[in-house]
Structure 1
Amino acid sequence: MKIFRLILFIAHLVLLFLLIGVLLNAYVPPKIFPWFNLLSLGFPVLIIGYILLTFFWIFSWKKRAFAFMFLGLFFLNPVKRWVNYSVDKKETANLKVITFNMMGGKLGYDKIKEYIDQQNPDLVFLQENSYHNFQFKNLSGDNNLPVIAFYSKYKIRNRKNLFENLNDEDVTAQCEVVDLEIKGKIYRVINAHLGSFGFVKSTVKLNGESKEDEQKVKDIVKKLIPTFKMHQEQVAIIRKSIDESPYPVILAGDFNSVPNSYEYYHLGKGLNDAFFEVGKGSGTSFHDYKYPLRIDFIFTSPSIKPVTYKVDRSVKLSDHFPVISTFKLD
Structure 2
Amino acid sequence: MKKLSIINKIIYFINIVVAILLFASYLLPFISPEKLPILAIASLLVPFLIFANIVFAIYWLLSFKRQFLVSSSILILGWLTLTPIYKLFEKKTLSNNSLSVMSYNVRLFNQYEWINDTEIPTKINMLIQESSPDILVFQDYYSLVNQDFKFNFKYVNTKTASNKNGLAIYSKYPIINSGSLDLKHTSNNIIYADILRGKDTIRVYNLHLQSLKLKTDKENFGQENSEKLVSILEDGFKKQVNQTTVFLDHEKKWKGKKIIAGDFNNTSFSWVYNQISKDKKDAFIEAGKGFGKTFNYWFPLRIDFILTDNTAEIHQFSSFNQKYSDHFPIMTTINW
TM-score under structure 1 normalisation? 0.87
Q: Does 1:29 align with 2:48?
A: no
Report the equivalent of 2:215: 200
Report the equivalent of 1:47: 50
Report the equivalent of 1:297: 305
1:77 Cα offset (Å): 5.6
Query: Where does 1:177-326 land on structure 2 (aligned, <5 Å)?
Result: 177-201=192-216, 204-205=218-219, 215-287=224-296, 289-313=297-321, 315-326=322-333
Report the equivalent of 1:157: 176
Report the equivalent of 2:154: 141
Tell me the amino acid that sits aligned with residue 306 of structure 2.
I
Aligned to 1:100, which of 104, 124, 127? 104
Contact 1:84 1:281 (8 Å CA) reproduced: yes
CA deviations 1:125-177 (Å, max 9, x no partner) are: 00111234743224321323231100111121211201x2x34x211x11012
Residues 249 and 214 (structure 1 numbering): CA distance in 2 closer, same or farther, change over 3 Å?
Answer: closer
Q: Which is worse superposed, 139-148 or 228-237? A: 139-148
Report the equivalent of 2:186: 170
1:60 Cα offset (Å): 4.0
Aligned to 1:65, which of 60, 68, 72? 68
Q: Does 1:123 align with 2:135?
A: yes
Identify unmatched segments of 5+ residues in structure 1.
208-212
Distance 2:196 2:277 in 1: 23
Secondary structure at the aligned position of 2:156 is classed as coil
Contact 1:25 1:265 (8 Å CA) reproduced: no
Distance 2:235 2:220 in 1: 22
Contact 2:138 2:168 (8 Å CA) reproduced: yes
1:321 Cα offset (Å): 1.4
1:54 Cα offset (Å): 1.9
Aligned to 1:82, which of 81, 85, 107? 85
Residues 11 and 241 (structure 1 numbering): CA distance in 2 closer, same or farther, change over 3 Å?
Answer: same
Contact 1:86 1:277 (8 Å CA) reproduced: no
Q: Which is worse superposed, 81-90 or 47-56? A: 81-90
CA deviations 1:40-98 (Å, max 9, x no partner) are: 21122211111222233334444443454233212226776432122434342611111
Secondary structure at the aligned position of 1:181 is classed as strand
Identify unmatched segments of 5+ residues in structure 2.
111-117, 159-164
Distance 1:205 1:76 in 2: 32
1:296 Cα offset (Å): 1.1
Report the equivalent of 1:210: none
Secondary structure at the aligned position of 1:85 is classed as coil
User: Number of residue pairs matched?
Assistant: 317
Secondary structure at the aligned position of 1:282 is classed as coil
Distance 1:127 1:57 in 2: 44
Tell me the amino acid that sits aligned with residue 284 of structure 1.
K
Residues 137 and 96 (structure 1 numbering): CA distance in 2 closer, same or farther, change over 3 Å?
Answer: same
Tell me the amino acid that sits aligned with residue 144 of structure 1.
N
Distance 2:325 2:59 in 1: 40
Q: Which is worse superposed, 52-61 or 238-247? A: 52-61
Secondary structure at the aligned position of 2:141 is classed as coil
Distance 2:14 2:198 in 1: 56
1:6 Cα offset (Å): 3.5
Tell me the amino acid that sits aligned with residue 293 of structure 1.
L
1:268 Cα offset (Å): 1.0
1:302 Cα offset (Å): 1.6
TM-score under structure 2 normalisation? 0.85
Alpha-carbon RMSD across the aligned residues, in angstroms, is 2.4
